[in-house]
Amino acid sequence: MRTPRTRPQSCWLLTILTLASLWMPIDPALAVPMQNDPNGFEGIPWGAAFTESDQFVKVEDAGRVQTFELKTSPHLLGPATVDSMKFSTIDGKFARVMVRYTGKETHDRLLAFLQQQFGPIDQTPGQMAGGAVKFFNWQGPDSAIILRYDLRTSLGVIFFESEAFRVKLNEGNSPSTF
């Protein structure tokens, strides 16, 4: 008898598959050198001790990697309201934020905000990859920002990641382990 997959398992699998698609190498021509590397996210430095608090609640515990969400809403990133923000740690140290959003207007606001903060994207014809899924990447010495937006579904995801913790976060999460 086959048992139905539970919602947390489905959510976890969807997250892993989304992350795996983002871990594919991005053409260096598409990466923009980051101006003003934040070395963290919204004042929280990479590597900071991170636990549940009056501001954050733990939503997933996968051993070395734990995920937290803000207790308050709406969730804001710059000038835009976003659907969710998930803060990940590895071995208790802050390492990544995943921001999900919906809609072309929100995408345009976020892209403009990120370009203002971290540097303009070269959108000259021939410099950006074509297709229904757009990737934008800012690369700094301490941080990486990867934005993925699907034109067909109007769904976007942005990863703010610590360069120092990126490899540790991705260990054991490649699609070949499933």
Residue 106: its pLDDT value, please?
97
Residue 83: its pLDDT value, please?
97
Residue 143 lies in a domain: yes
Residue 48 lies in a domain: yes
Walk along the chain (178 residues) and give the pLDDT tens digit of each residue: 444 444 454 444 344 434 444 444 444 345 688 999 999 999 999 999 988 888 899 999 999 999 999 998 889 999 999 999 999 999 999 999 999 999 999 999 999 999 999 999 876 554 455 688 999 999 999 999 999 999 999 999 999 999 999 877 776 454 433 2
Question: Is the preceding peptide bond at 45 cis, omega within 30 degrees of 0?
Answer: no
Residue 117 lies in a domain: yes
Distance CA(57)–CA(68), nearest Å, equals 5
Residue 38 lies in a domain: yes
Which pairing describes strands 80-82 and 75-77: parallel, antiparallel, or unpaired?
antiparallel
Query: Do 94 and 45 contact (CB within 8 A), yes or no?
Result: yes
Residue 2 lies in a domain: no
Q: Domain total for the chain? A: 1
What is the per-residue DSSP string for 44-80? EETT-B----SSEEEEEEETTEEEEEESSSSEEETTE
Residue 98 lies in a domain: yes
Residue 24 lies in a domain: yes
pTM for the model: 0.77
Residue 130: its pLDDT value, please?
62
Query: Do 133 and 148 contact (CB within 8 A), yes or no?
Result: yes
Query: What three-state secondary structure class fits 36?
Result: coil
**Closest C-alpha to 89, from 29, 47, 131:** 47
Phi and psi based region of residue 40 (left: phi greater than 0; alpha: psi -120 to 50; beta: remaining): left
Range of the domain at 23: 7-177
Residue 141 lies in a domain: yes
Residue 131: its pLDDT value, please?
80
Residue 126: its pLDDT value, please?
47
Q: Rounded to the nearest 5°, which phi and psi values hold at 118?
A: -120, 0
